[in-house]
Amino acid sequence: MTTTRERLIVAMDLSTLESVKCTLDNIGDAVSYYKIGMESFYSLGEAALSLMAANRKKVFLDLKLHDIPNTVSRSVKALCRYAPAMTTLHAAGGPAMLRAAVEAAAEASAQLDQERPKLLGITVLTSIDETEWAAVGHTHSIRDSVLRLAEMCRLSGMDGVVASPQEAAAIRQCCGPDFLIVTPGIRPLYGDKGDQSRTATPAEALRNGADYLVVGRPILAAADPRTAAIEIVKEMEG
């Protein structure tokens, strides 16, 4: 059974190995799961993932793939050699792209004799509000769009989605109890929203049906990251 602590994913949005090592040392065993996103992966590449493995940390590899099905298929196969626990694709890439990723992940993981990474569809970024959503040509609300994308992901064989905590309850009702919901946009009771538009506290996100919470700046920018992580876990526990 997954513990509350294991449901917290710290966004390791850092660009030097020294800062990644320092963060791992500071937080220690308070956190077991880290997100390696575009900043850290593009800056550090395989070294960031090797460091996670050396410290026995689970990795959420968040690169948000979005391309034609063939390119995404080959990219997913390449990423499987890093053995991430979860990785992401933009749901807007469409059913054919998503199905190609699912097939590629299964094939590559079987060849590598390892567990297949969970594949998550990115729905609508948590920094986007209704005004920005309409500005790029969308006529449906964010909530309706997220639900349509989540259902498409489910029907395409994806394991879950990344969505704001404000849509988590509706996704859970639409897609069922086994569909993974990973929520960024988490701000503790004491935290500032920053550039996030659709946020919730840790406890609110879990009540809404989230499986995992992704938290970056409220931990990384804290004077004491370890204490900040521990306090967030306490909030998650209610």
Catalytic residues: 64
SS3 assignment, position 208? coil
Total residue count of the chain as it appears in this document = 238
User: Which ranges of the chain does DSSP label H, i.e. alpha helix?
Assistant: 17-27, 38-44, 46-54, 69-80, 95-112, 130-135, 142-155, 168-175, 202-207, 217-220, 225-237
Closest by Cα among 140, 131, 122 to 35: 122
Query: Cα angle vertex 125, ends 119, 128, to 5°?
Result: 170
